[in-house]
Amino acid sequence: MNSALQTSPTAPHSPEMGELSPYQSGPALTHATLTQKGMALEWQDGQQTTLPLLWLRDHCACPACRHPQTRERLYLPLDPITEPPSVALTEGHLHLTWQDGHVSAFHSGWLYQRRPETALTSAVPKVAPWEDNFAPERIRHSDFLTPEGEKAWLTAMLRDGLALMTDGPLVEEEVSRLAERIGPLRATNFGARFDVRSKPNPNNAAYTAVGLPLHIDLPNWRQPPDIQLLYCLQNGATGGESLFADGARVVEALRQQDPAALAILSETPIDFRFQDETHDISMRAPVITLDSAGNLVEMRLNNWIRDALHLPVEQMEAWYSAYALLWKLFHSEGHQLEFTLLPGQMVAFDNRRVLHGRREFDPNSGARHLQGTYLDRDMLASRLRVLARNE
């Protein structure tokens, strides 16, 4: 056993761990003892853990083991620890000197955060399927431009998959400016930023006045866009109400009503394809993708660009039956959210979870113009983590 104790809970020069998220407020270590399983640690509040020596060597944050500017790991833990290090507690922090003379210093608060017995905290909320009478979070444009308002919007988006911004300026490209606060725009074959309005010779149903049943955008891509933003500049036409439905909620309804149908739709890949004069983009994947715990990963429901159904004949009838049931659940009144998007409002939604659509509108009754773009979900989560550092 080799341990040293120090009564002072703070250090004038505490170890730097190469983290931007705060860790310095944790309690000081009071005991550090070598055991057969590794390093047994105890903190001032009585919490205890044991960490393997190889784990400690792997997580050394000195400039030789972690790049001081990029914070990326430089050390590769290939060699086993054959001899225990010498141990010291200095001002409540752990210092280890390894058999080759290398010294590793660990901040007590950093180690406290990473005890295997406790889950790592995250600023990113868990997905919450919509409850009955769900209403999207509404954030004023001026509030979104503040850290607290932006954080509220990001939290709602990552939790609910849908959020509404209100009272924005009626200026072109505002959707791009708002999106670029979060991250780079995700470009597709429709460009980085697109206009949604009726136009001659359309190459997509969104550019007509017809009603759009619920769907996700671009299921024919290997990686469909994550987050879609639609900013309303004009909406004087009769009709055109926006429709939304939560895939996480509907999948659970399908699981309860017909688990065999859910299995068919989540285990049977089908083809999706978009083609025009300059593009031919296709992908084969199930309509529903679930993780190992049965939670929704993504939806690929888009009846316009569903390609020819290429399945064994004996599977076709069951697939069509399951597809029809899913369609009816999504378009049932109990699962749909409907509202009119007003000029100066922006609706944003998780394109791989929340299906969207619209009612038919009369293009002769008034102008209707929306501008849209896409963002990667990773950028929303990243931005929320950065904002959480300053709490």
- Residue 168 maps to which CATH number? 3.60.130.10
State the pLDDT at residue 119: 86
Domain residues for 40? Answer: 29-113
The structural domain count of the chain equals: 2
Residue at 122 is within a domain: no
Same domain, 154 and 102: no
For residue 74, the domain's CATH number is 3.30.2020.30
Query: pLDDT by residue (tens digit) across 99-125?
Result: 999 999 999 999 999 999 998 888 999
Structure-block tokens of residue 351:
């394109």
Residues 189 and 238 occupy one common structural domain: yes
Residue 99 and residue 141 in one domain? no
Q: Are residues 100 and 145 in the same domain?
A: no
Q: Is residue 3, in this structure, part of any structural domain at all?
A: no
Q: What is the pLDDT of residue 205?
A: 66
Average pLDDT, the chain: 93
Verify that 152 and 58 share a domain, yes or no: no
Question: What are the distances in angstroms from CA 332 to CA 143, 162, 243, 264, 351?
Answer: 34, 19, 12, 21, 20
382 and 241 within one domain: yes
Query: How many Cβ atoms sit within 10 Å of the Cβ of residue 90?
Result: 16
Domain match, 64 and 189 both: no
- Whether the pLDDT of residue 329 is over 60: the answer is yes
Tens digits of residue pLDDT in 122-155: 899 999 999 999 999 999 999 999 999 999 999 9
**Is 28:9 a contact under the CB 8 Å cutoff?**
yes
- Residue 346 corresponds to which tokens in the numbers above? 């922006």
Band of pLDDT at residue 363, cut at 50, 70 and 90:
confident
Residue 68 located in a structural domain = yes
| pLDDT at residue number 1 | 37
Model pTM score = 0.89
pLDDT, tens digit, 9 for 90 and up, residues 261-280: 999 999 999 999 999 999 99
User: Among candidates 49, 54, 244, 229, which has minimal Cα distance to 154?
Assistant: 229
